[in-house]
């Protein structure tokens, strides 16, 4: 998120795509409505459903699920065709623009209408609204990411903002709302299968950096792996861990996964949930750490399941990073109740039993403060350096001194700081960076250019054109010694760069010179190490428009894609739509969250939303002979089925079915409540919506494609 929730108050227009803030991020609505009512800022909502946010919209754009990239590139094309692009911003701060323009030319309003169903005139109208009301705040959520081309879709969002010159400006930016209070923090710590904390990757250099941070011998870490080669390889993703158990797909590593620890994670958030259940019952060991028994605890019928009752956030303390990149300190309210333990104690007991506590806690004596200090020491890549426990707590104790408009403290102990010291916060004197890529402020006061990551010059394959990757002369933060672009800092301390210098002398030297440690470069429209160097539309694997598959084909199959074969071309079967004629998409509701283990165990939230349902358009319901509150069976091309209640509503069109994904406790309408620990059954049960989500994973991240599958619907 480049800006912040509060900064939306300054926008002149807003576009939300795959984001229903009213239900999923209700705290943001106070700022969204402020912009609408005070600035008269139009709200554009792009979604397959007429959501509660769409009810507040100036313009509702109903898009076919999975076709977002075509629409956004159509907006880019329309802006450029009319000469509305920010020419100076592009000239000085954008790379690969010419190559991108050639690709965007295909996406005329008429071509966009054919792919997306959005009328050509509406594409023209939306482009004009954005061009006439700048800066624009663009927001997306999982509706934009959970597709086989999710990475291209999100890149297209960024390109639109670059073309309009909306990056690095108050009221502008690309603003990805995160769900829970520490999703951003968990992402920054890279609790993923392909990186060490702070986005360092898995190279030898990355491992050696963190070994220095942990004060642990590199050879000791190497010895923890059966083979050193494993250290540099991506693991199974959260979306497909169960493939490593089932071993039904071609695996890079032949030995299957035998044990699983699920820590604060609902398995029913996984797509193809029937296969997840099959894997759970094949494990030799399943450990669940959670305040509540999850669906996995009840569905796993073997005797190898251990429940470790984790404490809630009110029974522990420590630092978290919010959606706006802000640090907050979570203070403990009460001690853990009953037999529950907080995460720190559970982790301590585990590593002690596993025999590496001395190495694990080498620099951690005071918990949780020393954990945050270790993060401050090592996570140089994104500027986690200045947010010490003492500073974070000071912000929490003096939150009333921060201005609601710009989040800067006006007097008091935190004078000049931005609330939560949003990263990057380069030093303990730095105020935090409220808006990424803002060159109007000195770097020492929260300004920042684009990062130099991909060399100094690029020769484009298609044309042989050479282009400087550094920012143009005249683009720099006030006070910079270099009045234009410059590369990243290195060798201030010999043999190190700004990412690996644990003395942090490199960071301090750069700031002293008025410059960013990571350089001053251009944002690139062409990503030459991705399958699609410029974002393009590709049809979903299970497409409702088989006539478009030849024109917009998917990728070739990808062996060893995060250790498992991932099918693309071989999975794209044009004939599927004949038997499965409706588009299936899933999402959240305001009353429940995630897998729903906590919220469906609340009497009050359960009373507000007591039933699982499928949204069906009235016309489709009449054609299928379905009436209000009828039970219906929804089936996926993979053969999985769920039985849910029909909610007949014009929120969806007559080609789309919507399911919330928070439910569990039944499968095909059959209850397994008896399998929960006695007295701990959820109040609300229902078939998990993700049981019928289709096969499909993003080409770069392997995130599951839950927003654009196919299904068939019959009256039960």
Q: Are 84 and 163 in contact (CB under 8 A)?
A: no
- pLDDT of 86 reads 98
Burial level of 614, CB count in 10 A (0-12/13-18/19+)? buried
Using CA atoms, how far residue 527 sits from 151, 487, 530, 532, 700, in Å, is 11, 19, 6, 8, 12
pLDDT at residue 103 tops 90:
yes
578 C-beta neighbours (distance < 10 Å), count:
8
Confidence grade of residue 544 (pLDDT, cut at 50, 70, 90): very high
Give the residue-averaged pLDDT of 241-250: 93
User: 455 and 83 in contact (C-beta within 8 Å)?
Assistant: no
Task: Write the Ramachandran bin of 366: left for phi over 0, alpha for psi from -120 to 50, otherwise beta.
Answer: beta
For residue 294, name the pLDDT band (cuts at 50, 70, 90): very high
Stated pTM of the model: 0.97
Contacts of 715 (CB under 8 A, 6+ apart): 624, 625, 626, 630, 631, 632, 633
Using pLDDT thresholds of 50, 70 and 90, give the confidence band for residue 267: very high
Share of the chain above pLDDT 90, in %: 96
Q: What are phi and psi of 450, to 5 degrees?
A: -75, 150
Q: What is the mean pLDDT of residues 672-687?
A: 94
pLDDT surpassing 90 at residue 122:
yes
Taking each continuous run of H as one helix and of E as one strand, the counts in the chain are 23, 24
- Which pLDDT belongs to residue 326? 98
Beta-sheet strands, E only, within 350-495: 457-459, 466-468
- Whether domain 183-194+232-401 has CATH 3.40.50.740: the reply is yes
- Contact between residue 339 and residue 17 where contact means Cβ atoms under 8 Å apart: no
Using CB atoms within 10 Å of the CB of residue 15, give its burial: 0 to 12 exposed, 13 to 18 middle, 19+ buried: buried
Mean pLDDT, residues 262-287 taken together: 95
Place of tokens 């005139």: 121
pLDDT at 208 over 90: yes
Give the Å distances, CA to CA, from 173 to 57, 134, 144, 474, 679. Answer: 19, 11, 16, 22, 48
At 620 the pLDDT is: 98
In this prediction, residue 582 carries a pLDDT of 98
* pLDDT at position 179: 79
Pairing of strands 305-309, 285-290: parallel
User: From residue 314, how far is each of 37, 333, 355, 432, 627 by CA, in Å?
Assistant: 36, 5, 30, 27, 44
- What is the greatest pairwise CA distance in the chain? 75
Q: Is the pLDDT of residue 76 over 90?
A: yes
Tell me: the pLDDT tens digits for 471-506?
999 999 999 999 999 999 999 999 999 999 999 999
* E-strand stretches of 511-567: 523-524, 558-561, 564-566
Tell me the pLDDT band of 420, cut-offs 50, 70 and 90: very high
Q: Could you please report the per-residue DSSP string of 388-430?
A: -HHHHHHHHHTGGGB-TTT-BB-SSTTTTPBTT-PSP--STT-
φ, ψ of residue 540 to 5 degrees: the values are: -55, 155
| Mean pLDDT, residues 68-88 | 98
CATH 3.60.15.10 fits 6-176, yes or no: no
Q: Is the pLDDT of residue 714 over 90?
A: yes
Cα 641–chain centre separation: 28
pLDDT digits (tens, 9 = 90+) for 129-142: 999 999 999 999 99
* pLDDT on residue 235: 93
Please, which pLDDT band fits residue 462 given cuts at 50, 70 and 90? confident
State phi, psi for 499 to the nearest 5 degrees: -85, -15
Q: What class is the 572-715 domain? A: mainly beta
* Strand partners for 140: 17, 176
pLDDT over 90 at 356, yes or no: yes
Taking residues 269-297, report their average pLDDT: 95
Q: Is the pLDDT of residue 249 over 90?
A: no
C-alpha dist (Å) from residue 246 to 276, 566, 570, 697: 9, 15, 21, 18
Confidence at residue 401, expressed as pLDDT on a 0 to 100 scale: 98
Domain edges within the chain: 6-176, 183-194+232-401, 572-715
Position 254 confidence tier, pLDDT thresholds 50, 70, 90: confident
**pLDDT confidence of residue 669:** 81
Instruction: Count CA within 13 A, CB hemisphere, residue 510.
Output: 31
Q: What is the per-residue pLDDT for 256?
A: 83
User: What value does the mean pLDDT of the chain take?
Assistant: 96
Q: What is the pLDDT of residue 255?
A: 75
Can you tell me the distance from the alpha carbon of 586 to that of 658, in angstroms, rounded to the nearest whole number? 5
Q: What is the pLDDT of residues 431-459, one digit of tens each?
A: 999 999 999 999 999 999 999 999 999 99
Q: How far apart are CA 563 and CA 557, in angstroms?
A: 13
pLDDT at 180: 80
Other Cβ atoms within 10 Å of 415 Cβ, number: 12
Distance between start and end Cα atoms, the chain: 44
Q: Is the pLDDT of residue 253 over 80?
A: no
pLDDT of the residue at 349: 97
**Rounded (5°) CA angle 532-457-234:** 45
CA distance 280 to 403: 49
């Amino acid at each position: 998120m480049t800006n912040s929730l509060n900064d939306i108050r300054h926008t002149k227009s807003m576009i939300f795509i795959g984001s229903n803030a009213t239900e999923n991020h209700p705290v943001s609505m106070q700022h969204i409505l402020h912009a609408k009512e005070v600035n008269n800022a139009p709200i554009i909502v792009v979604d397959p459903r007429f959501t509660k946010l769409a009810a507040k919209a100036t313009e509702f754009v109903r898009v076919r699920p999975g076709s977002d990239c075509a629409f956004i590139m159509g907006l880019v094309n329309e802006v450029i065709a009319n000469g509305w692009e920010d020419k100076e911003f592009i000239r000085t701060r954008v790379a690969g623009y010419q190559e991108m323009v050639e690709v965007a030319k295909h996406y005329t309003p008429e071509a966009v209408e054919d792919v997306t169903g959005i009328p050509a005139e509406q594409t023209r109208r939306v482009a004009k609204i954005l061009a006439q009301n700048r800066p624009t705040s663009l927001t997306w959520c999982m509706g934009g990411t959970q597709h086989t081309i999710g990475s291209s879709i999100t890149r297209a969002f960024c390109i639109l903002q670059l073309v309009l010159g909306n990056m690095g400006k108050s009221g502008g930016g690309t603003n990805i709302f995160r769900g829970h209070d520490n999703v951003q923090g968990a992402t920054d710590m890279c609790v993923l299968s392909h990186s060490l904390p702070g986005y360092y990757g898995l190279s030898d250099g990355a491992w050696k950096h963190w070994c220095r941070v942990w004060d642990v011998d590199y050879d000791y870490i190497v010895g923890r792996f059966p083979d050193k080669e494993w250290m540099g390889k991506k693991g199974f993703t959260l979306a497909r861990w169960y493939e490593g158990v089932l071993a039904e797909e071609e695996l890079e590593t032949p030995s299957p996964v035998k044990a699983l620890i699920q820590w604060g994670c609902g398995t029913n958030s996984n797509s193809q949930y029937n296969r997840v259940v099959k894997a759970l019952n094949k494990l030799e060991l399943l450990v669940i750490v959670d305040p509540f028994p999850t669906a996995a605890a009840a569905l796993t019928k073997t005797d190898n399941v251990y429940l470790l009752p984790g404490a809630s956030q009110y029974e522990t303390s420590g630092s978290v990073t919010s959606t706006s990149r802000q640090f907050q300190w979570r203070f403990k309210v009460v001690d853990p109740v009953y037999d529950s333990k907080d995460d720190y104690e559970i982790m301590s007991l585990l590593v002690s039993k596993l025999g590496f506590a001395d190495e694990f806690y080498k620099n951690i004596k005071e918990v949780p403060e020393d954990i945050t200090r270790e993060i401050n020491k090592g996570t140089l890549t994104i500027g986690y350096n200045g947010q010490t426990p003492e500073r974070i707590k000071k912000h929490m104790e003096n939150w009333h001194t921060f201005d609601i408009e710009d989040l800067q403290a006006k007097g008091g102990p935190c004078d000049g700081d931005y609330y939560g010291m949003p990263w990057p916060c380069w030093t303990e004197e730095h105020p935090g960076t409220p808006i990424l890529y803002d060159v109007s402020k000195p770097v020492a006061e929260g300004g920042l250019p684009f990062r130099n990551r991909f060399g100094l010059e690029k020769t484009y394959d298609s044309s042989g054109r050479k282009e400087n990757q550094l920012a143009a002369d005249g683009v720099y933060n006030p006070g910079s010694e270099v009045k234009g672009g410059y590369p990243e800092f290195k060798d201030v301390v010999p043999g190190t760069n700004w990412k690996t210098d644990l003395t942090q002398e490199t960071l301090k030297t750069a700031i002293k010179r008025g410059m960013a440690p990571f350089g001053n470069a251009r944002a690139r429209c062409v990503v030459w190490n991705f399958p699609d160097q410029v974002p393009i539309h590709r049809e979903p694997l299970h497409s409702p428009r088989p006539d478009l598959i030849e024109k917009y084909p998917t990728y070739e199959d990808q062996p060893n894609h995060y250790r498992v074969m991932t099918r693309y071309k071989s999975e794209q079967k044009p004939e599927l739509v004949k038997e499965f004629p409706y588009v299936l998409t899933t999402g959240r509701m305001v009353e429940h969250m995630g897998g729903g283990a906590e919220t469906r165990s609340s009497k009050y939230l359960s009373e507000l939303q007591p039933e699982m349902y499928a949204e069906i358009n009235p016309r489709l319901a009449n054609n299928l002979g379905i009436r209000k509150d009828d039970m219906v069976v929804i089936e996926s091309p993979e053969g999985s089925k769920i039985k849910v209640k029909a909610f007949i509503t014009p929120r969806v069109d007559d080609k789309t079915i919507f399911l919330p994904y928070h439910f569990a406790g039944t499968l095909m309408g059959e209850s397994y409540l008896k399998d929960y620990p006695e007295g701990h059954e959820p109040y609300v049960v229902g078939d998990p919506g993700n049981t019928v989500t289709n096969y499909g994973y993003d080409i770069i991240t392997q995130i599951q494609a839950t927003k654009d599958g196919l299904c068939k619907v019959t009256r039960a």
